[in-house]
Amino acid sequence: MAAALEGYVFACPVADVPVRGKKTVHVGETRVLIVACESGMYAIEDRCPQTGRPIAHGKVIDCVITSPATGAEYDLRTGQYIGGGLSPLQSERLRTFPLKVDGSKVYLLVA
């Protein structure tokens, strides 16, 4: 699988991400939130698009994360804004990152 991981960087061991939980990691200067939910593991920038504040303490239900600062909801799979928050702009999105699990390690593609 080494060729399939070209460009990806090691983020953390799989064991560091709790089942249906979250883990914040730093890849270069980017703070990334890895979230394990019902349908898999996803990686987003740990930053609310509306305020720029961390989103890591947001509640996750059915692969939707709610910003603790604004109440805005985002789909973890796509980064798509779902609703709520300070200024309901459909163009607001979470920055998402491709994630791969190789054995016991999590890798991210952060350009």
pLDDT tens figures, 71-111: 999 999 999 999 887 766 667 789 999 999 999 999 999 87
Q: Which residues, at least 6 apart from 81, have a Cβ–Cβ distance to it below 8 Å?
A: 49, 72, 73, 74, 88, 89, 90, 91, 92, 93
CA atoms within 13 A on the CB side of 41: 25
Every domain of the chain and the residues it spans: 3-108
Q: Which residues, at least 6 apart from 84, have a Cβ–Cβ distance to it below 8 Å?
A: 66, 70, 71, 72, 73
User: pTM of this prediction?
Assistant: 0.90
Q: Is the pLDDT confidence value at 12 over 80?
A: yes
3-108, CATH topology level: Rieske Iron-sulfur Protein (2.102.10)
How long is the chain? 111
Give the Cα separation of 107 and 16 in Å (integer).
13
